[in-house]
Structure 1
Amino acid sequence: MNGTDEDAVFLEDVTVGETISCGSVTVTEEEITDFAERFDPLAIHTDPSAAAESRYDGLIASGYHTLSLSVRLLVETVRKERAVIAGLGIDDVRWREPVRPGDTLSVTTTITDARASESDPGTGVIDESIVVTNQDGVEVLTLENHELLERRSP
């Protein structure tokens, strides 16, 4: 997305306090082990037998896999519509509970702040609080995200 698209969501279009549901995804055992084998090859993520003997009593998804799945839902629902210039970072990433095969994860984002940039009048920053829950409504991941957006008019 870029600012030349008249349907883009610019800084001025963002409402502080708005909460957006970003859909859900069900995690499979194969996805958990495939991701972990490539990016986080701990036995609790890659080996169901070893994981069964762990404190988790079974296979769990890598936290980075959970984070990646949530980003995908965020992009598909809200970020691809925004006039995003760049991500500025994430803070306070917390993996609250394990994600297991068969869990369905749902993502919500709440805009906590939107402000014009002091250094570049054509841009602004939004802050959002992201919460990922499982099918039982239990929080499995929380984080704070910061994005640089174009302004409709400086």
Structure 2
Amino acid sequence: MPYSYEPHYFEDLEKGQTFESAARTITESDFVFHSMFTGDWTELHTNAEYSEDGPFGARIAHGPMTFIVATGLFQRTGIVERTVVAFLGMNYMDIPNPLYIDDTISGEYEVTELRELDSRDDAGYVEIDTTMTTDDGRSVFEGDMKFLFKRRDAE
């Protein structure tokens, strides 16, 4: 799957079309920054000694952090640059496996629904199925994202 790095308007998208993000490695700083930003200092995410004896054997990423990283990787595909009007939410979100410090992850994104809107002539509705995996193939995020994408003729 080639990286696109090109903005896509509503008209540029097709059902079944896929995009892949660049990869990135999760760091200690990611964990600390998320805790600082949200105020969530739960020991499972922030206390190495406590977490070693816990169910995962090490600190794991906050569930919301995992989602946020998936949205950031989607932005790195380039297709949403200056073409997304709004993020509308999700129908589902699963975190099937934990995300650890030093995991290298990437995202795969598939257009699953496109819909014209009677209420808007400047944008269309788009659903994107998302799977974020580690470099060893472990799925750490699955979900869909709902967006309004600008129409090319609205520019």
Count of aligned pairs between the two proteins:
148
**2:3 matched residue in structure 1:** none
Unaligned runs of 5+ in 1: 1-6
Q: Is the 8 A contact 2:108 2:130 kept in 1?
A: yes
Amino acid at match of 1:22: S
Q: C-alpha separation between the residues in 1 aligned to 2:7 and 2:27?
A: 34
Q: Is the 8 A contact 1:10 1:82 kept in 2?
A: no
Q: C-alpha separation between the residues in 1 aligned to 2:33 and 2:153?
A: 45
Amino acid at match of 1:42: T
**1:11 matched residue in structure 2:** 10
Is the partner of 1:146 in helix, strand or coil?
A: strand
- The alpha carbon displacement at 1:58 in A equals 1.1
Alignment of 1:142-153 (within 5 A): 142-153=142-153
TM-score, normalised to structure 2's length? 0.86
Amino acid at match of 2:131: V
**1:113 matched residue in structure 2:** 113
Does residue 127 in structure 1 map to residue 127 in structure 2? yes
**1:25 matched residue in structure 2:** 24
TM-score, normalised to structure 1's length? 0.87
**2:67 matched residue in structure 1:** 67
Alignment of 1:85-124 (within 5 A): 85-124=85-124
- Which has the larger strand fraction? 1
Q: C-alpha separation between the residues in 2 aligned to 1:35 and 1:47?
A: 14
Is the partner of 2:136 in helix, strand or coil?
A: coil
**1:49 matched residue in structure 2:** 49
Is the partner of 2:22 in helix, strand or coil?
A: strand
Q: C-alpha separation between the residues in 1 aligned to 2:104 and 2:61?
A: 12
Amino acid at match of 1:147: F
Is the partner of 1:44 in helix, strand or coil?
A: helix
